[in-house]
Amino acid sequence: MKTAIIGWGYLIWEPGSLDVETHWYPDGPRLPVEFARFASGPRLLPVLVEDSPPQPTFWTLSRKATVLAAAGDLAVRESIFSHDVGYWSRDENMRSSTGIDAIIGAWIESKGLDGAVWRAAEPNLPDHSPGFPSEQLRLEWLRRLIATGRAAAAQDYVERMPVQIRTPFQALLERELGWKAATIPLSQDDGERVV
């Protein structure tokens, strides 16, 4: 079974214990990604946010035998609950035909894959309660980190993002804070894989 792991953040450069192939491909589904989740570190993470401009994503193959096993593997790697992992499978009982799931489903079909899993955590507020943080709130939070000398992890995350992904908030960070994403090089052998 061919199950894709879809990523747009640190899974690409830090897969950790995730049981996946070593190469990431840059032609994942275009998804509405934006920096809108506060996390420990402290960091601001990119998550799926309906109505945000679609961004390129990356993918690799899971070595797990089923979509559910790949979803469990991702949950363990991310230290998250299973309800924060999205999955889509050709199996009728494990797919949806609306919203982000429909975009991913069409992409799976176009690639001839059997399924995919991804992190489906929601945006949150600085106190980690549910909600969508305004641009101003996110920027002020990062400025407070800078002022207190605690911004290293947040800045490192933003600057390690694949340059192919450029959300509106990233553009704001570049203008306001000078934080700019670096290029993730493509492998030399086929020009298709990310190393």
- Give the pLDDT confidence score for residue 186 in this predicted structure: 39
Helix (H, G, I), strand (E, B) or coil at 74: helix
Residue 183's pLDDT band (cuts 50, 70, 90): low
Residue 95's pLDDT band (cuts 50, 70, 90): low
32 phi-psi bin (left φ>0, alpha ψ -120 to 50, beta other): beta
**What's the whole-model pTM score?**
0.90
Sequence letter at residue 193? R
- What average pLDDT does this structure show over 16-22? 95
Which of residues 94 and 60 earns the better pLDDT score?
60
Q: Which of 87, 96, 75, 82 is nearest to 114 (CA)?
A: 87
Helix (H, G, I), strand (E, B) or coil at 77: helix
Q: Is the pLDDT of residue 25 over 90?
A: yes
Q: Which helix (H) or strand (E) holds 137?
A: helix 135-147
